[in-house]
Structures are given as structure tokens and as C-alpha cells.
Structure 1
Amino acid sequence: MDSNKIGLFSNFKSDLSASLVVFLVAVPLCLGIALASGAPLFAGIISGIIGGILVGLISGSTVGVSGPAAGLAVIVLAGIQSLESFPVFLAAVVVSGIIQIILGFARAGIIGYYFPSSVIKGMLSAIGIIIFLKQIPHAVGYDADPEGDLEFFQPDGENTFSELFTMLDYIQEGALIIFVVSMIILILWEAPFMKRIKLFQVVQGPLIVVAAGIIINVLFKGSSLYIDQTHMVNLPVAATFGEFINQFTFFDPSAMLRKDVLILGGTIAVVGSLETLLCVEATDKLDPHKRITPTNRELIAQGTGNIFSGMIGGLPITQVIVRSSANIQSGGRTKLSAVFHGVLLLISAILIPNVLNMIPLSSLAAILIVVGYKLAKPSLFKKMFAAGKSEFIPYMVTILGIIFTDLLIGILLGLTVGIFQILYNNFRKPYVVETRNENGTTKLKLELSENLTFLNKASIIETISHIPDDTDITIDATRSHFIHPDIIEILEDFKQNAEYRQIKLEIIGLDKEHDNPMKELKKVAKEI
């Protein structure tokens, strides 16, 4: 059976429990990203709801979860400040959604497949490390940096590493106790003997962690260990349904054709689409069933989500790896978990915001630290190292780039290293050199490889320019299926130069018909 076509309700129990975990992770992340973006806190909740329900239903991803993107926080913050109006900014979000839908129908989703596996794995490990490091201050009760921030330089003036020293002056014993208890529960939940008990197979450890955190803090009330509201989830509270509706902000449709709005919308669309495609690649690798997400459909789903999010006051949406990985690790198997987490966000925002506001951030820090560890297990580093330099170097460059800059810059650094490796390998291996002695005369033979592109120009020019005068040389192209016209031109020029330099040159197989990839593609297209 096609694993991409598993029924929506075929794994109802596991999807339901996974959606609860994703929901608990999503609440502080939605609020934190909104805070870091300079937007109303409720804007993060809106985008989380739409990312879960609407995008979840349209998307072809079975385990990916969408919501407000930390990677877009800087762009959103600058956009709101430059446009000087939140409704005008929302118009740019709507524009970005329209552009994404166009990209989807234009089949731009294929771009994601051009990123090497080592870079995608580096992205996963880097995000795991960042989650781990960013949650340590929250674990001890220091919450100056908002949840969801993945940037190296933080809004509170610190960076990822300096924050770890600053927090030492602000440790809260109550938060630390709750964190330690939470970690003990999560570690026990992963133990084999616990997994054999049926009840613990159904109830997720993170749910017990949250319940325990609330109960412990209630017991701390009246003592110095009590955690106040500044160190707990801070969901906007509406006393009535009318107040809840008033939290929505509607976009300014008259601003959609403004030049600055179109430019910002285009920027959000391009960056958001790239982040989504990279996340799709990463999520597919984490998926136990290794299902393949249709990327063009994903762009259309994200575009639709951004149109609706922008219309009613939400932030830009992308597929996000933190929630997606939490979903997979918690047993999510179909898109029902993503959709239901959006339903839970909507219900809780209307009915139980006060209950959610009792959850200590130190409890959630424990959950996210486990998620981060699973993304960056030491065994993965060993596996990538064993794969050789060609895999390990781009992997490590991507990790370090993301940790010390941001997601996109880190990925581009890893991709750049990967491209340079390809260029280097092309420079080294476009042919095999064979030297033989016949009747006291030294003869050279250059056997060209199966495929020679313009990337091989440098190596071939370098080689033939150093061939000594009065040399006997054979260039064998009989094994070559494709030779780029630039290479043929170089060899034709060498023919003329060889006569001038008294080089005895024989070229074999150059006059045969070599494969033309474009001709083959046109032939296949006509057959289709």
C-alpha cells in the first residue's frame, strides 16, 4: 500500500496523543515568535490555528506541522516598523500567499530537492542543538529571551552562549525543581519497562510533565519557590466571546498594490517558501515511513494559509521543524495530528486560556530539550563522520553556520561548501591518465569520463597546457556519453596547438554522436 495514502483516521489514538504534545509545544512558540516579531501576541495564535487546521488539511505532508516561523521574525519585525501599520503589514502577508500559490502552480517546489542530504541533516542537528541551548535558561527560570527565538543574537541583547552565563544570576529554585521533576518523568517514560505498560503507551509523558508542573507550582504557592506569571505561558485572555473576536485584526486591501508592500510580500514568499521546502525535506527524513511530500502542493497549501492568516491578523506561516519533529517523536502518523493541534489551539484560546497560563515555562523547557536531543544525537555525528569528508564537512559547516548566524545563512554556507566540493571533484576526475612505453617511446593516454560538463574545463585546460612538446598522446572519448560543447571546443583548439608544438595527437570517439540531455528531455516530453 502507498504509505502516502494512509487514511486520516487510521492511527487515531497515536495522532490524538501526538497532537496534544504538539499543541503544548506550539502555544509558547506561537506567543514567543509573535513577541520577537513585534506583533500582537494573538497574531501568533492565529497563525498557529490556521497553520494547523487549514494548511494541515490542504498539505500533502502527513507529519509536517505548520505555524508562525521563527526564521521570518526579523523580516516581520522590520516590515511592521517600516510600514508603520499592522493592517498594511498584513496586506504584505496576503501578497506573499498569492505569490506562493503561483510558485506552487509553476512547480517551483522542486528547488528543495537540490539541497544535499548532508546539509539537511546538518540543519536538523543544528536546530536540535539550538533548541537544547535556548531552553536551558527557561529551565532555571530566566525567561528574558522569548520562546521560539532561534537566532544567535537575541532580542534581550545577549547571544545563545552569553545567555547561559547571564542566567546564573537569575536562577529560580522553584523553576529548577519543576524542570528536574519534568526531566525525570520524561526519562522514565522512555525506559523500556514503562513502554511495556499499556497505560503509558497511550498517555504521553509531556502531558504528565505539564500536569505535574502546574500541580507542583500550586503547592509552592505562598512560598519563595512559587513561580509567578512572568515565568509561565502568557496567552491573551478574553473575558467574553466578543472580546475574543476583537483580538482579530483585518488587513488593509487598499495597500496590496503599494510598491513597498509588494516588495515585502515577495521577500516573505521567497524566504518562507525556501524554509518550508527545507523543512519538508528534513521532515520526510524523520518520518518513520519515509513518505514523500508533494512540494508543489505544499507551496499551494502554505500560500493559502498565508492569505487567510494575513486577512484576519496572523503572522506568516511556514512548515516548521520544531513542531514537526515533536509530532513525529510523539507518534504522529497522519495529518490528523497537525489538524487537531490547530483545533486545540482554537478551543483553548476561546475556552481555557487561564488554565494554559498556569503552565510553567520550565516544564515546557524539559519537553523541548528532549526534542532537541533527539534531533542532535551523538550517534548521528559519528555516522556522518564515518561517511567521509564529503559528507561530514558540509554537515558541520551547516551546523556551525546555523548556530552562529541563522537558519538560511547556515544552510547557504553548507550548500556553498557542497558546491565547492563538486567543483573540486570535477576538477580532479574528468579523465584517467595512462602512461605506457612502446619501443622506447613514452606515450600518454587520456581516457575521458562518461560525462564532461563545463565544470571540467579548468582541469582539462590545465592538463593539456602542461603536456610537453614532442609528446605522443591519445585522447580517448569512446566511453563518454555526454561532452559539453565547451570541452569539444577546447579539444578542437588543442588539435591546432598540437601541430605547432610538434605533439603527435590522436583523438578517438570525439566524432561519434554524444547524448544531448535536452534532446532526450524533449523526446520524453513528447511521449508523455
Structure 2
Amino acid sequence: MQLVNPIKTLKHYRLADLQHDLPAGLSVFLVALPLCLGIALASGAPLFSGLVAGILGGIVVGTLSGSELSVSGPAAGLAVIVADSIVKLGTFEAFLVAVMLAGAIQVALGWFKAGRFSSLFPDSVIKGMLVGIGIVIILKQIPHALGRDNDYEGEFEFSQLADGENTISEIYRAFVTASPGAVLISILSIIVLIFWERVAGRGYKFFKNLPAALTVVFIGVIFNQLYLVYFPDWYLGDNNEHMVRVPIMKAGQSITSIFDFPDFSSLANPAVYGVAATIALVASLETLLNLEASDRLDPLRRNSSTNQELIAQGMGNIFSGLLGGLPITSVVVRTSANVFGGGKTRVSAITHGVLLLCAVALAGAMLNHIPLACLAALLIMVGYKLAKPALFISIYREGLNQFVPFIVTVIGIVFTDLLIGISVGTVIGLLYVLYSNSRATFRVIRDGDKVLIKFQKDIYFLSKPQLKETLQSLKRGDRVYVDGRHANFIDHDIVNMLTDFSVTANMQGIHYELNEIFLNKQYVKEHASLREAITGE
């Protein structure tokens, strides 16, 4: 596999797509800006490192990506790992070396086509991940919408380490301490977003061409300045507590002075390689999961290249480590904002990266007047679109074998954190799927004293309890026929149980007959054909 030429990835781009991609890129930028800063803060890293990761996630990964809609940047799911790793390695500069090594590992994973493992995750778990993240986005943004900005943007954990609260208690305290100014901005922003979307959907060009996200930001800034003049008690201020806070370069400060660079002498430290492997594994897993999710959100139903995406992520992390950035992954929140913002191609992701770069270089002072309350409204709408109530009903109607893994994943994400929730949901989901499938491996048909136990497909040890119950329910005088013709493979435990039961059946007066009960039917057929060819029998 070779790296995709960045020029070739854009050769089919149409200028007509700009009317969709530029507004979508702006929406993603407004969502990503506070998230980049918040995740850096939670990671115990310099604030600028989050912006570096966001810029490179948009421009570098966006260009090389295996997906047209996936958007990458620093991920909340890695915040704890990053914070622990910095402490473990002693310096942030040593940690940057681990980020570069993690990128190299990801490139190797993509080269050896490890992306194929993303297909192992059940559809129900992927759907549960999207809905769970949608609910978490809403719950975590409610305090910001009410003016309680104690916790950083981008936090996904149920238990909040920063202040000892959890998601539910934080919402309660937010209602108790609600700021009227923030509440009014949030409500107006949500109303405008709903109105804008409906009117734009009817074909009005003004509303289609002007991004709703930009309008919401203007509302937040203007209302907050009006508070200062007419309602001073409602004024949210221009401080770190309630506003976006982009680091601003001081007069005379060199551009290189705001970057951190890796300390390559730390390559002699064995711990660096362990941290690199951990980051590569977790970041790749989160990326592959998000890529599956982004394909499901894509209105055009395009299939992303998972291996190309791993290479793109690896290249992004190599550059991020080199320039002082946090680890990069594909992120559901940004990707969802891109899809619901109307993005069509990778240009929207690249646009968001360019805007982040411009924000750092040119517009920091201006952006620092944006209240977090209006950005919370943007995220709440993204969360709602991910977790619409109709989705629960739709998946429930698909049957319990789909709904149970789905709801377990949702609950796991909401009440733990993103990575733990996905892991628990995936494990339980896979077990439930296996259990459900095991119950459909055979049928029992009774006609008077005649009983047919018919294997419908390959049968494994998971079917053993149900099959054992079936055998124990047989009565004296039953005539039992076990038909294994439709199973190419029958587990060793199943074969032993069926053959052992022949003794029990004889003692209980049950006529018991087995037909083609072998461990490997295909092997038996091939062996028989070979024997026939050799002996002529």
C-alpha cells in the first residue's frame, strides 16, 4: 500500500461543493476551537498544543484521509492517558517523542492493512456509540448553556475529576447557579438554529448560503456586549470562565517561541516506547470506530478506506509530535458537526484546519469575545441529531438482538466515559450477539412421540446449555432423530454431549438416532472423496 498523493485525493473535487463545504468547515471550526483548548487543559499540556493538533488534524489528516467526512483533532478520550504519560515521562517534550513514535506505528498498521479489524464491531454497537455520544454532548453542554463553565469543553467522563462532581450533579448545580445572560443567549441560539435549518430546507438562498453557526456566534457576542450597557448583572465578562480563550502572541514574540519541540534524547528511555504503543492502540481504535460511524452518517453512503485513514492519522501524529501538538484521532463530535453542517467532501475538514490556523495567527483577540453559551447551543443541536428519540424506537423494532447491545453501549458511554463505554458495550454486545445466534442454531419439532432436532447451521459450545435442556426434556417412548446435515462444523463439546446421551436414552426407553454428527463435516467429505479416489470404493 502506498500513501495517497494529496493532489490526487482532490482531483475529483467540484467547485459546486464549496457552497456546502465552506459553511460546514466554519461550523466545525467553531465547535473545534473550544474543544481543542479544553482537551489541552484537561491533558495537563500547553493550551497551544491542542490548537496544533486541531490544525494538523484538519489540514494534514484531512488531505490524506480515507474518508470524505471524518474530521480529526485532539480527542477527549485520550486526555487521561496524555496527562498520565506526561507525568510518567517527566516532560512534555519527551511525551512529544512518544506521539511521533505512535504516528509511526499507525503508519505501519495502515501499511499492513490492520484497518480491516474495524468490521468486527457490530452495527448495533456503532449505532449505540453515536447515540451515546449524542446524549453525552447534550448533558455536558447544558451547564455551559446555563453559564456554569467550571469544567473544560470536550469532557466526556461521567465522573468529573476536576471538581468531584458527575454529569448529573453538575447539571443540578448549573440550574441552581444559572446565569440569566447565558440562558437567554443559549435559548435564542437554539431557536435561531432550528428556524435557520427549516427555512434553508425550503430553498431560501440567503439562509442556505449564510451559515447558521456564524449567525449564532454574532448573536452571542452582540447580546453579551449589550448586557454590559443595559444589564450589567447579566454580563458574562471577557474572561476565561465564560469565553473562548485563544492564546494570543505578544508583541515582538517569535512564532517559534510558542511551539514546543520533542526532546529526542528521551529515545533512550524505554518508557517512551510503552507510551507510544498505548497512544497508537487507543487512537487507532477510536479512529476506526469513528470511521465506521461517519460512514453511517454519510448521506451518500460512501465507504471509507480504513487502512488509508490509519496512515493519514499516523502522518498527522508524526507532524503533531514534531510541532508540539497533542495526539490526533478521528473525532465523533467534529465529524457529526461536519455532516449536520452539510459537508460533502474532505475540503470541509481542511477548511476547519485553515480557520484554526488563522485564529491563532490573526484573530485570537476577536474570537475571545465569543461566549461559550452560544457554542453550547451548537453542540446541543449536534447531540440531538445524533440521539433523536425516534432512533430508540427504530432499533427496538429490529429486535432484542439489536436493541440490547445498542442500549448497553449507550448506557455505558453515558455513565462511564467514551472509551470504557464503547469497550463494555462492544464486549457485552458481542456476547449477546453470540448468545442470540446460538439460540438459532437448531430447531426442535415434536409430532406426538416423534421429535426432530435439526441443526440449521454450524453449532458451537454456546448452544450447549439450550441443547442440554432439550435433551433433558425428552420423555420415555419418544422417537428422537438428531439431524446434523446442515452443519459443516459441530463443536467437540456438542458431539460429546450428543453421543453420551445415547446411553441415557437407552436407559430411559428413548429411541435415539444421530445423523451426520461429526466435528468437521467438510473434512469428512473431503476425506471420503480422497479415499474413494485412491481405493476406488
Fold match by TM threshold 0.5: yes
Change (3 A) 1:428 1:196: closer
d(CA) in 2 for partners of 1:169, 1:447:
63
Would you say the 8 A contact 1:430–1:459 is kept in 2? no
Would you say the 8 A contact 2:159–2:167 is kept in 1? yes
Asked whether 1:116 is paired with 2:122, we answer: yes
Q: Which one of the candidate residues 21, 30, 43 is aligned to 2:27?
A: 21
Aligned to 1:394: 405
Q: Which one of the candidate residues 31, 48, 59 is aligned to 1:53?
A: 59
Superimposed CA distance per residue, residues 238-261 of structure 1 (whole angstroms, 9 cap, x where no aligned partner): 135843321110112222352221
Would you say the 8 A contact 1:16–1:340 is kept in 2? yes
Would you say the 8 A contact 1:427–1:458 is kept in 2? no
Asked whether 1:285 is paired with 2:290, we answer: no
Change (3 A) 1:455 1:511: closer
What is the identity, as a one-letter code, of the residue corresponding to 2:204?
A: I
d(CA) in 1 for partners of 2:519, 2:145:
69
d(CA) in 2 for partners of 1:139, 1:283:
27
SS at match of 2:254: helix
SS at match of 1:435: strand
Q: Percent identity?
A: 47
Asked whether 1:224 is paired with 2:230, we answer: no
Superimposed CA distance per residue, residues 458-492 of structure 1 (whole angstroms, 9 cap, x where no aligned partner): 44455446656775432212233443455445545
Aligned to 2:5: none
SS at match of 1:417: helix
Superimposed CA distance per residue, residues 439-470 of structure 1 (whole angstroms, 9 cap, x where no aligned partner): xxx34332221222343344445544665677
Aligned to 1:80: 86
d(CA) in 1 for partners of 2:36, 2:408:
29
d(CA) in 1 for partners of 2:115, 2:251:
43
Aligned to 2:383: 372
Asked whether 1:359 is paired with 2:364, we answer: no
Q: Which one of the candidate residues 65, 71, 76 is aligned to 2:77?
A: 71
Once superposed, what is the RMSD of the aligned Cα atoms?
A: 2.5
Superimposed CA distance per residue, residues 58-110 of structure 1 (whole angstroms, 9 cap, x where no aligned partner): 11100110000001111111111222210111111112112212222222212
Structure 2 residues not aligned, in runs of 5+: 1-8, 527-537
Would you say the 8 A contact 1:33–1:146 is kept in 2? yes
Would you say the 8 A contact 2:142–2:171 is kept in 1? yes
Superposition TM-score, scaled by structure 1 size: 0.90
- Once the two structures are overlaid, the 10-residue window that deviates more, 261-270 or 315-324, is 261-270
Shift of residue 323, structure 1, vs aligned partner = 0.6
Change (3 A) 1:150 1:270: same
- Once the two structures are overlaid, the 10-residue window that deviates more, 379-388 or 368-377, is 379-388
Asked whether 1:153 is paired with 2:162, we answer: no
Aligned to 1:333: 344
Superimposed CA distance per residue, residues 348-391 of structure 1 (whole angstroms, 9 cap, x where no aligned partner): 21111111111111111111111111111111122122222222
Change (3 A) 1:6 1:494: farther
Aligned to 2:514: 507
What is the identity, as a one-letter code, of the residue corresponding to 1:480?
A: A
Asked whether 1:166 is paired with 2:177, we answer: no
What is the identity, as a one-letter code, of the residue corresponding to 1:364?
A: L
User: How many aligned positions are there?
Assistant: 510
SS at match of 1:446: strand
Change (3 A) 1:444 1:197: closer
Q: Which one of the candidate residues 10, 13, 19 is aligned to 1:8?
A: 13
Aligned to 1:243: 254
Shift of residue 54, structure 1, vs aligned partner = 0.5
Would you say the 8 A contact 1:430–1:448 is kept in 2? yes
Would you say the 8 A contact 1:47–1:68 is kept in 2? yes
What is the identity, as a one-letter code, of the residue corresponding to 1:134?
A: K
Shift of residue 23, structure 1, vs aligned partner = 0.6
Would you say the 8 A contact 2:410–2:421 is kept in 1? yes
d(CA) in 1 for partners of 2:275, 2:174:
36
Would you say the 8 A contact 2:244–2:368 is kept in 1? yes
Would you say the 8 A contact 1:182–1:366 is kept in 2? yes
Change (3 A) 1:324 1:307: same
Would you say the 8 A contact 2:53–2:325 is kept in 1? yes
- Once the two structures are overlaid, the 10-residue window that deviates more, 244-253 or 32-41, is 244-253
Q: How do 1:377-526 and structure 2 match up within 5 A? A: 377-436=388-447, 442-464=449-471, 467=474, 472-484=479-491, 487-488=494-495, 490-492=497-499, 504-510=511-517, 514-515=521-522
d(CA) in 2 for partners of 1:460, 1:188:
58
d(CA) in 1 for partners of 2:255, 2:519:
74
SS at match of 1:507: strand
Aligned to 2:267: 256
- Once the two structures are overlaid, the 10-residue window that deviates more, 177-186 or 135-144, is 177-186
Asked whether 1:203 is paired with 2:210, we answer: yes
Shift of residue 120, structure 1, vs aligned partner = 1.2
Asked whether 1:33 is paired with 2:39, we answer: yes
Shift of residue 188, structure 1, vs aligned partner = 1.6
What is the identity, as a one-letter code, of the residue corresponding to 1:374?
A: K
Aligned to 1:522: none
d(CA) in 2 for partners of 1:212, 1:120:
36
SS at match of 2:233: coil
Superposition TM-score, scaled by structure 2 size: 0.88
Shift of residue 127, structure 1, vs aligned partner = 1.1
- Once the two structures are overlaid, the 10-residue window that deviates more, 218-227 or 287-296, is 218-227
What is the identity, as a one-letter code, of the residue corresponding to 1:38?
A: G
- Once the two structures are overlaid, the 10-residue window that deviates more, 155-164 or 320-329, is 155-164
What is the identity, as a one-letter code, of the residue corresponding to 2:234?
A: L
